[in-house]
Amino acid sequence: MKISKDTLKGYILEEVLAYLIRTTGYKLLVDPSQDPRDLDRRGNGLVVKGRGGVHQVDVLGQLEWIPAFTFPLRLFIEAKFRKGKTGIDAVRNAIGVLLDINQNNSPTREQVVFPQKYHYAYALFSTSGFSKPAMDMALAHQISLIDLSGDELNELRNAITRAADKIVDQRDIPIGREGYEPDETNISGRGKVVSRVRDILRRQLETLPMGLEYQTYDIPLLRNELEPVITVARQYNELFVAMANGPFMLLLKADDPNAFLTYARQHPRQRVNITWSRRIDNGRTWEIIPTEDRTAYRLSFRPPEILARWIFGVPDDVRGRALQTKQEYFSNITIYRYVDGRDHLFRLEFDLESTRSYIEGVDRGG
């Protein structure tokens, strides 16, 4: 069956996300040799073994340090790139996958008495937001939802759309056979097209784990179509994953990632202003700037849709609800980075009075 453009866009986005959030401390798992007990390969894809079955995984990462009071952590990343909002079915699938995999515990006599056990989590990204039922169920079952529909990501979404459209519109692509040199095979070989696209993106963006003997294919036609996506991803360089108070994960985009990192290394704990304006993405894209030096950097993010609906659902009290949200959920925002074997922890603390002064000075929405 020929792959749809929306499906391919989602696969491309997943690989780009793996690159953009690479400093969160997760190493990419791409081959069963990295964990023969829990991982396997079926067709052209990696699968994770559960208690009752196996589950396809597109992007899987393993945290390189172990949080206290839990098993080593692994994270599924799934991305939806479509016109309509991502619905409850995607969340139901994530819950089912986690339930089956996290209950998998079947040592055999040939294995050690206590085989390694992992805790699996799930992050679902969407370029078109999420339906309310999806948000409610995700919150109840601790599935992280990240909205990628903000204006600050337009360039990336457009590049992925153009690349996927061109690839799917090609009638013949040299995708190759397993174990052989690439040959001319019709694009209807859906699984192999996806695996070749992943190979190219992982190699070009250097997300493949070091030292892994992993067979890759260089398909010039696909590489040429994907080059604009790779260029934009490198321009973005990094998206910062942050945890706010409560159950919300934030994805922060810096206007200049190096400027933010320079300032954050000097001020790992800092006071910040958090504001929004109706003139920017209709108030749905918020910004963070440091209190002490408002020109040092700018971070932008979309608040979780479940909060945005509550804030903007009552027009007469938008400012009051936005302020309450900042105080309750964004009073402490923590960014963790793991680079070259070193841990970095940055804490952004909401400064109410400075934010109020800034809002009055520049006439922002709140």
Please state the φ and ψ torsions of residue 202, each to the nearest 5 degrees: -65, -35
> Given pLDDT bands bounded at 50, 70 and 90, which one contains residue 108?
low
Give the SS3 label for residue 300.
Answer: strand
Pairing of strands 119-126, 73-80: parallel
* Strands laid side by side in the 119-126 sheet: 26-29, 59-63, 73-80, 119-126, 144-147
* Start-end of H helices in 112-256: 132-140, 154-169, 190-204, 220-236
Matching residue, tokens 């699938």: 93
Whether the predicted pLDDT of 303 surpasses 80: yes
Residue 338 β-bridge partners: 343
- Asked whether 207 and 18 are in contact (CB, 8 A), the reply is yes
Amino acid 189: pLDDT: 53
How many C-beta atoms surround the C-beta of residue 187 within 10 A? 17
Tokens linked to 114: 């206590």
Amino acid 63: pLDDT: 92
Q: Which of 215, 175, 128, 177 is nearest to 2 (CA)?
A: 175
Give per-residue pLDDT as tens, 225-234.
Answer: 999 999 999 9
The upper half-sphere exposure of residue 305, i.e. CA atoms within 13 Å in the direction of its Cβ, equals: 23
Whether the predicted pLDDT of 193 surpasses 80: yes
- Asked whether 343 and 254 are in contact (CB, 8 A), the reply is no
Q: Which of 212, 210, 176, 171 is nearest to 44 (CA)?
A: 176
DSSP-assigned letter for residue 151: G
> Given pLDDT bands bounded at 50, 70 and 90, which one contains residue 299?
very high
First to last CA, the chain: 50
- Asked whether 28 and 209 are in contact (CB, 8 A), the reply is yes
Q: Which residue ranges form the domains of the chain, and what is each CATH number? A: 1-237 (3.40.1350.10), 246-362 (no CATH)
> Given pLDDT bands bounded at 50, 70 and 90, which one contains residue 304?
very high
Tokens linked to 249: 């994960």
Mean pLDDT in residue range 308-318: 89
Give the SS3 label for residue 184.
Answer: strand
What whole-number distance in Å separates Cα of residue 21 and Cα of residue 205?
12
What whole-number distance in Å separates Cα of residue 295 and Cα of residue 190?
48
Tokens linked to 58: 């597109």
Q: Which of 8, 2, 275, 359 is nearest to 165 (CA)?
A: 8
Whether the predicted pLDDT of 115 surpasses 60: yes
Give per-residue pLDDT as tens, 231-284.
Answer: 999 999 999 999 998 778 999 999 999 999 999 999 999 999 999 998 888 899
Is this structure's pTM higher than 0.85?
yes
In the predicted model, what is the mean pLDDT of the chain? 88
Give per-residue pLDDT as tens, 141-184.
Answer: 999 999 999 889 999 999 999 999 999 988 666 554 443 344 43
What whole-number distance in Å separates Cα of residue 221 and Cα of residue 17?
23
